Structure 1
């Protein structure tokens, strides 16, 4: 339970800010038996879009030959932001985005560079989701736990709110 009031706008701001500095989340198709996998996402807050590089010889690329309902889950490195976002995943080899997000880490997966025949750029159009934000840090968290146990109340671990990135 939380006493913290969190607006959707503030939650989205925190999500995008943290994603910019810690870009790894879990991406998977929203269907039974499908397992999410760690992926690096480049975010565009103004459109609610994530761009993700993969190779065309992966299961994920084969499974999104046509657009698919998907889920992106995220935990910031500092554990201040947690998110679970549903969206539409599709292949969109947008050359401008490839140029914009290309970096040495991405390049390591594509020996032939930006024209590697295996390079595939995925587009995740974010929709409904839920974001949790807690700025308390580890000390604040343990304080809330101790206080809750002493006062027989529940801790204030931050705020949670439903959002729509679309």
Structure 2
């Protein structure tokens, strides 16, 4: 049990590290029957159970609520499906902390744009897959050999 918890924690840490390199996710509201959309997560190295998004008040996720975000690392070796709740972020210090020139490019009126808002994604749980790109695994794929589940990489179900 302890070994599994440590392994899950390591997979979770790897997911956060990879998200830091490429903070792009697909996110959608649960039960809305609208497609997920790409968003840039604003990450904080000290916050391991939440991240933020800037969006327009008329964006499909702006109303908040239960949500799912999907993440794939640049190297395609970490895959995550993250469940949580979106709520409007009203703290001005958080809004200002993550604002950047790249963010400003999306809002005609900049920080003062009356249509800009910030959402906080509070993570509940996630499933994370860490692919095994070992030489043996790649050889089996290329030659059509069966890859056994224990050779496919690590899988973690984590409560956040």
Q: TM-score, normalised by structure 1?
A: 0.81
CA contact (8 A) 2:55 2:119 kept: yes
| Closer/same/farther in 2, CA of residues 32 and 56 from structure 1, 3 Å limit | closer
Q: Give, in angstroms, the shift of residue 58 of structure 1.
A: 1.9
What is aligned with 1:13? 13
Aligned residues: 154
What is aligned with 1:60? 61
| C-alpha separation in 1, matches of 2:13 and 2:116 | 30
Find 1:121's aligned residue among 81, 94, 118: 118
| C-alpha separation in 2, matches of 1:57 and 1:30 | 17
- The DSSP-based 3-state class of the residue aligned with 1:11 is helix
Higher relative contact order (CA 8 A, sep 6+): 1
| C-alpha separation in 2, matches of 1:55 and 1:32 | 18
Task: State the superposition RMSD in angstroms.
Answer: 2.3
CA contact (8 A) 2:71 2:79 kept: yes
Displacement over 6 Å in runs of 4+? none
CA displacement 1:72-115 (0-9 Å, x = unmatched) = 11001111211001101111133222222112221101222222
Find 2:148's aligned residue among 130, 154, 166: 154
CA displacement 1:39-98 (0-9 Å, x = unmatched) = 00022463400101101122321x32xxx1110110011112110011011111332222
What is aligned with 2:50? 49
| Closer/same/farther in 2, CA of residues 14 and 93 from structure 1, 3 Å limit | same
What is aligned with 2:139? 143
- The DSSP-based 3-state class of the residue aligned with 1:43 is coil
Q: Give, in angstroms, the shift of residue 140 of structure 1.
A: 5.7
| C-alpha separation in 1, matches of 2:15 and 2:148 | 25
Q: Which runs of 5+ in 2 are unaligned?
A: none
CA displacement 1:8-31 (0-9 Å, x = unmatched) = 211110111011110111110111
Q: TM-score, normalised by structure 2?
A: 0.84
| Closer/same/farther in 2, CA of residues 11 and 93 from structure 1, 3 Å limit | same
